[in-house]
A = this chain, B = another copy of it.
Amino acid sequence: VSVLEEAQIKARTLVEALPYIRSYRGEVAVVKIGGAALSEPRLAQILAEDLVLLSYVGVRVIVVHGGGAQISKAMSSSGAEARFVGGMRVTDDAAMEQVQRVLMGSVNTELVGRLNSAGATAVGLSGVDGAVMTAQRMTADDGSDLGRVGRVTDVNGPFLESLLDLGYLPVLASIATSSEHTTLNVNADVVAAAVAAATKARKLIYVTDVAGIYRDFHVKDSLVSEIKADELEALVSSLDGGMRPKALSAIEAVRAGVSKVHMIDGRVEHALLLEIFTDAGVGTEVLS
């Protein structure tokens, strides 16, 4: 690429990006981080830097994370056996203690540290802090007991917004508080959608390990770049297991007033910036 060509592309990028930058200023973007972007240090670092750049130009970023892989690893190393019913971890009191320790003491703390080292001032939270997220116990679809597993019932939007107002970047782990002030294990994809709805987010972005939603998972060409919530609903049952809660949460978020939900590939560098600030979106966009 010649210097002149590069200068032209740069100028075009700026002309393209500045109106987006203006339009996202002061808007909330909820970013759910999962997969490689959470566990692979180099990708995690680039994503952290992108999130900080977003906040530099006034986007109010909230990060949500779970940590299934990390929990499983900790439990297996302590000899405990993970048990799943219908894709959900059965969580007794001892397991819940493990979940809390891994999510708050390891995953969350590391994420906060990474964001701070990239220039943010992040604040790690579980749903207990500031009573920011409440849930109620749920059972598996077959009615069997799941232990300390919950369904999110309420998110304290004003608390998150006041942290944003103060210039802090909230990082929320998927642990909720019950009405009896005990902790419950909740699904991080659902948390992200509930947080986006409660903070009237302009964007909800799932950073995953796939390129987006495929009409037919086995056909690489069938990647969907834009899909309406209603259409997506018809597609859900045919989706890959890990994509299903994201898709359902995306549908719910769009119906709760979040303008746009994106699924982007966390393995592509700077996918987040390109998605938000250029005309050519990446991954799949869900809209109402």
Contacts and interface: CB of A to CB of B under 8 A. Distances in A.
Interface of A: 1, 5-7, 9-11, 13-15, 17-19, 21-22, 25, 49, 53-54, 56-58, 78, 97, 100-106, 108-109, 112-114, 116-117, 121-126, 128-131, 159, 162, 166, 168, 175, 177, 180-183, 269-270, 273-274, 277-278, 280
A109 B126 contact: yes
A108 to B, nearest CB: 8
A18 B56 contact: yes
A78 B97 CA distance: 14
A128 B101 contact: no
Given A14-B53, A124-B128, A159-B168, 10 more contacts: A10-B274, A14-B270, A15-B273, A18-B21, A21-B57, A103-B105, A105-B105, A113-B128, A113-B181, A116-B131
Contact of A112 (B57, B109, B128): B128
Identical copies in the complex: 6
A22 B57 contact: yes
A167 B124 CA distance: 18
Contacts of A97: 105-106
Contacts of A121: 130-131
A99 to B, nearest CB: 8
A181 B10 contact: no
A122 B280 CA distance: 32
A108 B114 CA distance: 22
B124 A126 contact: yes
A19 B52 CA distance: 10
A14 B277 CA distance: 8
Contacts of A54: 18
Q: Most chain-B CB neighbours within 10 Å: which of A14, A121, A159?
A: A14
A102 B87 CA distance: 28
Nearest to A18: B53
Contacts of A18: 21, 53-54, 56-57, 273
20 contacts: A1-B5, A10-B278, A11-B273, A14-B270, A15-B53, A17-B17, A18-B273, A22-B56, A78-B78, A97-B106, A100-B105, A100-B106, A100-B109, A104-B109, A112-B129, A114-B181, A122-B129, A123-B125, A124-B126, A159-B166
